Structure 1
Amino acid sequence: MRVVFPFSAIVGQEEMKLALLVGAVSPTVGGVLVLGDRGTGKSTAVRALATLLPKMAVVSGCRYAADPASTKPCVEGCHGRHGTDGQPAETAMVPVPVVDLPLGATEDRVVGALDLERALTQGVKAFEPGLLARANRGFLYIDEVNLLEDHLIDVLLDVAASGENVVEREGISIRHPARFVLVGSGNPEEGELRPQLLDRFGLSVEIRTPTDLAARIEVVKRRDAFDRDPEGFVAQWAEEDAKIGQKIVDARARLPGIGVSDPVLELASKLCMLLGTDGLRGELTLLRTARAVAALDGADEVLAEHIRRVAPSALRHRLRRNVLDDSGSTVRIERALQEVFAE
């Protein structure tokens, strides 16, 4: 099994780490986009997140990771939580999937296609699930997402909106669940994302190469220690990772009971109106993110400080470009926060 750099050992990049934890606690936030310089720990953080997540229950042998608690079949012909004899199906506890979508992947590899081996050897039409099926109930990670081909972006947009993957090709007609947290990373200098895909990410994080000398030295020391003795380094940070994992479990349990008062909701709406965000998705994402952060903090309700804390991540990629204002979106949000919170 591949040894992964510990999440708790990542130096700095607090906004990125918080956004990933929010995605783990509340998938309804809509995924995380991490943009920044090469070599700043983007891929490392995403893969480290998988080691923190508690295992999930699935129907044994189901290729779509069906939830045993669900009363609906995941696909036509699937018996869901009941076996063919009407008795409860066997279940298993498996790690939450974190599936990589490589840039060179074909559409068949992503959505699934005809199982050629069974077609040739048995003469039957059978479906071979793709990466979207493997990512169901987990995370779909796309490195260099800004370089993804347009036809795959269209597929992801459809699936992300519906939570289902529909395949109609080569005499096959199948519909299966594909609910996942979309996580993308990339370098803005290598190309921009299509607005349609950008809007599908709930949170957008900007990270930069550390400019603090002590931080840079600590990053190099920890990475060097991991490379020389991966197992020993992971063991050294196991307790801290376990604490973060338990924090995620507790936050998930607390999340449904987190309230949002009218004054806090008014603050969120004023902020979005002042920034001129399109539609209401910004406000909804802002509240969902703030609620998840409140759950992580152990609070009983969303506070104004939670709104202020998550506003840049939830709104920076939803702002229109202002030809009269050449300042970045993060600066515009900070100015708006000062104005709204000064009232």
Structure 2
Amino acid sequence: MKLALILNVIDPKIGGVMIMGDRGTGKSTTIRAIADLLPKIPVVKDDPFNSHPTDVDLMSDPVQQLLSEGQSVNTSTMKVPMIDLPLGATEDRVCGTIDIEKALNEGIKTFEPGLLAKANRGILYVDEVNLLDDHLVDILLDSAASGWNTVEREGISIRHPARFVLVGSGNPEEGELRPQLLDRFGMHAEIRTVKDASLRVQIVEQRSQFDQNPYNCIEEWEDKQQVLKAQILEAQSLLPEVNIDFSLRMKISQVCGELDVDGLRGDIVTNRAAKALAAYSGKNNVDSEDIKKVIILCLRHRLRKDPLETIDSGTKVTQIVDKIFD
């Protein structure tokens, strides 16, 4: 789970993480904790969509218009946004709303940004994603596919960039996730309750220490946190230089072919994740060990479900990987 989240911070194009597992295993805690590791990003000052000052793909239309007219924009930096999407959120809260009254009376397009606007260039987290209403799932699918959110009301249309890393968590016992949405997640981690008594005691003790004195606890781990943050920043700068050999790319596609994975997302995400892991390890070239560490996370949720199959999908991936790579 931690590795999948860190790799998505290094390369947001991996496409997010779906974390499924038992109740009370620290899924939400871990996801919300990743916010402290996120670096600062350059943004256009006072822009509600966190527009990038130079990258056209990550700019809102008004900023693009200003630059095309030769005007300059003020810039600043902000922490990568981490936005929670509540299960009971309305469509207007998620997408944003247009003030129709102002538009009709004054002829001005006034847009009240929603959660998708705030999450642009950041992380959008949906807890209990398998309980999300279908109409909100459709909105997420549209935005994740196009990278833009379009709001249309009474013949008035406004759009803005909505490129975010989608992170979801849930308990499989509470309901299945729609296959279209599941396929949008780049990686899928399955969490099980720890059975080892000594580990359980360690977790309980750490939790008790945190409850008694949170600030001491944060201070105690501050150095390790800073080391991890620096490691992520180094990996982000190294990522463009990382290469993956053609023979390894062939093996990844062979695995996907043998597992009968639909589409090519599995191949693309595995290549990206392996590169991100190599960068995280400080290497310029991907090796087979990097691929083995990430391939289950990238393919487990893409296999066709057979109700009569007793074997776990992760084990199935491991068997094919061992056969092809060894």
Which TM-score band applies after superposition, normalised by the shorter structure?
Answer: over 0.9
In 2, are the aligned partners of 1:269 and 1:283 still within 8 Å (CA)? yes
Aligned match of 1:192 = 176
| 3-state DSSP of counterpart to 1:308 | helix
The runs of 5 or more residues in structure 2 that have no matched partner are none
The runs of 5 or more residues in structure 1 that have no matched partner are 1-15
Aligned match of 1:106 = 90
Which string of whole-angstrom CA distances, capped at 9 and with x for unpartnered residues, describes residues 132-184 of structure 1? Answer: 00000000000000000001111111110000001111343111000000000
Q: What is the TM-score with the length of structure 2 in the denominator?
A: 0.94
**CA shift for structure 1 position 70:** 2.9
In 2, are the aligned partners of 1:75 and 1:174 still within 8 Å (CA)? no
The answer to whether the aligner puts 1:251 opposite 2:235 as a matched pair is yes
The answer to whether the aligner puts 1:25 opposite 2:47 as a matched pair is no
Instruction: Count matched residues.
Output: 326
Call closer, same or farther: CA 1:52–1:72 in 2, change over 3 Å. closer
| 3-state DSSP of counterpart to 2:63 | coil
Aligned match of 2:41 = 56
Kindly provide the amino acid, as one letter, of the partner of residue 272 in structure 2: R
The answer to whether the aligner puts 1:279 opposite 2:253 as a matched pair is no
| CA RMSD of superposed structures (Å) | 2.1
* 1:166-245 map, 5 Å: 166-245=150-229
| 3-state DSSP of counterpart to 2:210 | helix
| 3-state DSSP of counterpart to 2:19 | strand
In 1, are the aligned partners of 2:56 and 2:64 still within 8 Å (CA)? no
Q: Percent identity?
A: 49
Q: Distance in 2 between matches of 1:244 and 1:81?
A: 38
Call closer, same or farther: CA 1:172–1:231 in 2, change over 3 Å. farther
Alignment partner for residue 295 of structure 2, among 301, 311, 319? 311
**CA shift for structure 1 position 77:** 3.1
Aligned match of 1:43 = 28
Which string of whole-angstrom CA distances, capped at 9 and with x for unpartnered residues, describes residues 287-316 of structure 1? Answer: 111111111011111111111111110000
Call closer, same or farther: CA 1:327–1:87 in 2, change over 3 Å. same
| 3-state DSSP of counterpart to 2:20 | strand
Call closer, same or farther: CA 1:204–1:131 in 2, change over 3 Å. same
Q: Distance in 1 between matches of 2:22 and 2:89?
A: 24
| 3-state DSSP of counterpart to 2:173 | helix
In 2, are the aligned partners of 1:203 and 1:313 still within 8 Å (CA)? yes
In 1, are the aligned partners of 2:53 and 2:59 still within 8 Å (CA)? no
Which string of whole-angstrom CA distances, capped at 9 and with x for unpartnered residues, describes residues 301-340 of structure 1? Answer: 1111111111110000000123553211011112112212
| Larger helix share, 1 or 2 | 2
**CA shift for structure 1 position 130:** 0.4
Aligned match of 1:327 = 311
Call closer, same or farther: CA 1:76–1:322 in 2, change over 3 Å. closer
Q: Distance in 1 between matches of 2:81 and 2:210?
A: 24
Which string of whole-angstrom CA distances, capped at 9 and with x for unpartnered residues, describes residues 245-295 of structure 1? Answer: 111111111111111112211221121122111121111111111111111
Call closer, same or farther: CA 1:156–1:73 in 2, change over 3 Å. closer
Q: What is the TM-score with the length of structure 1 in the denominator?
A: 0.90
Q: Distance in 2 between matches of 1:245 and 1:83?
A: 36
